[in-house]
Amino acid sequence: MKTALLALTGAFMISGAALADVASVKESYVAGAFSGVDDDWLRITVNRHGDCGEYGSSGNRRIDVLIARYDAIGEAIESGDENATVEAARDFAKVVGINSRFESCWDVISRKEGIKSGFKRQVAKV
Protein backbone atom coordinates (compact mmCIF):
# COMPACT_ATOMS: atom_id res chain seq x y z
CA MET A 1 0.00 0.00 0.00
CA LYS A 2 2.75 2.42 1.00
CA THR A 3 4.73 1.56 -2.17
CA ALA A 4 1.69 2.21 -4.35
CA LEU A 5 1.13 5.57 -2.67
CA LEU A 6 4.76 6.57 -3.23
CA ALA A 7 4.57 5.52 -6.88
CA LEU A 8 1.39 7.54 -7.38
CA THR A 9 2.93 10.57 -5.70
CA GLY A 10 5.99 10.24 -7.94
CA ALA A 11 3.79 10.08 -11.02
CA PHE A 12 2.07 13.30 -10.02
CA MET A 13 5.41 15.01 -9.42
CA ILE A 14 6.67 13.97 -12.86
CA SER A 15 3.44 15.09 -14.47
CA GLY A 16 3.59 18.37 -12.62
CA ALA A 17 7.13 19.04 -13.82
CA ALA A 18 6.19 18.17 -17.40
CA LEU A 19 3.15 20.42 -17.22
CA ALA A 20 5.29 23.27 -15.91
CA ASP A 21 7.51 22.92 -18.97
CA VAL A 22 4.45 23.06 -21.24
CA ALA A 23 4.20 26.78 -20.54
CA SER A 24 7.67 27.23 -22.01
CA VAL A 25 6.73 25.17 -25.07
CA LYS A 26 3.63 27.31 -25.56
CA GLU A 27 5.68 30.50 -25.34
CA SER A 28 8.27 29.35 -27.88
CA TYR A 29 5.79 27.76 -30.33
CA VAL A 30 5.25 29.86 -33.47
CA ALA A 31 1.68 29.38 -34.63
CA GLY A 32 1.37 28.97 -38.38
CA ALA A 33 5.12 28.80 -38.91
CA PHE A 34 4.72 26.33 -41.77
CA SER A 35 1.36 27.55 -43.07
CA GLY A 36 2.97 29.22 -46.09
CA VAL A 37 4.94 26.14 -47.06
CA ASP A 38 4.06 24.74 -50.47
CA ASP A 39 5.34 21.90 -52.63
CA ASP A 40 7.98 24.13 -54.24
CA TRP A 41 9.36 25.17 -50.84
CA LEU A 42 9.48 21.55 -49.74
CA ARG A 43 11.16 20.40 -52.96
CA ILE A 44 13.76 23.16 -52.90
CA THR A 45 14.53 22.60 -49.22
CA VAL A 46 14.93 18.85 -49.71
CA ASN A 47 17.18 19.41 -52.75
CA ARG A 48 19.39 21.86 -50.85
CA HIS A 49 19.46 19.90 -47.62
CA GLY A 50 19.67 16.18 -48.20
CA ASP A 51 19.06 15.50 -44.51
CA CYS A 52 15.44 16.56 -45.07
CA GLY A 53 14.85 13.97 -47.77
CA GLU A 54 13.60 10.43 -47.82
CA TYR A 55 14.45 7.78 -45.27
CA GLY A 56 13.71 4.10 -45.10
CA SER A 57 12.01 2.15 -47.87
CA SER A 58 8.55 3.70 -47.59
CA GLY A 59 9.40 6.99 -49.31
CA ASN A 60 8.68 9.17 -46.29
CA ARG A 61 10.61 12.41 -46.01
CA ARG A 62 12.06 13.76 -42.77
CA ILE A 63 10.80 17.25 -43.55
CA ASP A 64 7.18 16.06 -43.78
CA VAL A 65 7.40 14.11 -40.52
CA LEU A 66 8.94 17.05 -38.66
CA ILE A 67 6.37 19.55 -39.90
CA ALA A 68 3.52 17.18 -39.07
CA ARG A 69 4.81 16.66 -35.52
CA TYR A 70 5.33 20.41 -35.07
CA ASP A 71 1.78 21.10 -36.25
CA ALA A 72 0.48 18.43 -33.84
CA ILE A 73 1.95 20.45 -30.97
CA GLY A 74 0.07 23.49 -32.22
CA GLU A 75 -3.18 21.56 -32.42
CA ALA A 76 -2.70 20.29 -28.88
CA ILE A 77 -1.93 23.79 -27.60
CA GLU A 78 -4.98 25.15 -29.40
CA SER A 79 -7.21 22.47 -27.88
CA GLY A 80 -6.16 23.55 -24.39
CA ASP A 81 -5.43 19.97 -23.38
CA GLU A 82 -2.23 20.05 -21.34
CA ASN A 83 -1.74 16.28 -21.48
CA ALA A 84 -2.14 16.25 -25.26
CA THR A 85 0.43 19.03 -25.47
CA VAL A 86 2.86 17.01 -23.35
CA GLU A 87 2.37 13.95 -25.56
CA ALA A 88 2.76 15.94 -28.78
CA ALA A 89 5.91 17.61 -27.45
CA ARG A 90 7.37 14.25 -26.45
CA ASP A 91 6.56 12.79 -29.88
CA PHE A 92 8.25 15.76 -31.55
CA ALA A 93 11.34 15.50 -29.34
CA LYS A 94 11.54 11.78 -30.03
CA VAL A 95 11.52 12.37 -33.80
CA VAL A 96 14.11 15.14 -33.65
CA GLY A 97 16.29 12.89 -31.54
CA ILE A 98 16.05 9.80 -33.76
CA ASN A 99 19.31 10.65 -35.49
CA SER A 100 21.47 13.57 -36.58
CA ARG A 101 19.70 13.86 -39.95
CA PHE A 102 16.34 14.57 -38.36
CA GLU A 103 17.93 17.11 -36.06
CA SER A 104 19.86 18.74 -38.90
CA CYS A 105 16.72 18.99 -41.01
CA TRP A 106 14.82 20.54 -38.11
CA ASP A 107 17.57 23.08 -37.54
CA VAL A 108 17.37 24.14 -41.20
CA ILE A 109 13.61 24.38 -41.55
CA SER A 110 12.97 25.96 -38.16
CA ARG A 111 15.51 28.68 -38.86
CA LYS A 112 13.90 29.36 -42.26
CA GLU A 113 10.50 29.79 -40.66
CA GLY A 114 11.57 31.92 -37.70
CA ILE A 115 11.32 29.34 -34.94
CA LYS A 116 13.91 30.02 -32.28
CA SER A 117 16.43 27.32 -31.45
CA GLY A 118 15.19 27.38 -27.86
CA PHE A 119 12.01 25.61 -28.95
CA LYS A 120 13.90 22.37 -29.46
CA ARG A 121 15.40 22.66 -25.98
CA GLN A 122 12.03 23.44 -24.38
CA VAL A 123 10.37 20.44 -26.01
CA ALA A 124 13.18 18.17 -24.88
CA LYS A 125 12.48 19.12 -21.25
CA VAL A 126 8.85 17.96 -21.33
**98 secondary structure, DSSP code:** S
Q: What is the pTM of this model?
A: 0.84
pLDDT, tens digit (0-9, with 9 covering 90-100), for 11-57: 444 455 555 589 999 999 999 999 999 999 999 999 999 999 999 99
Nearest 10 degrees: Cα torsion 119, 121, 124, 126: -70
Instruction: Give CA–CA dist 106/50, Å, rounded.
Output: 12
Beta bridge partners of 103: none
Domain extent listing, the chain: 2-125
Instruction: Give CA–CA dist 55/64, Å, rounded.
Output: 11
pLDDT, tens digit (0-9, with 9 covering 90-100), for 55-91: 999 999 999 999 999 999 999 999 999 999 999 999 9
Helix, strand, coil shares, percent, the chain, to 5: 75, 5, 20
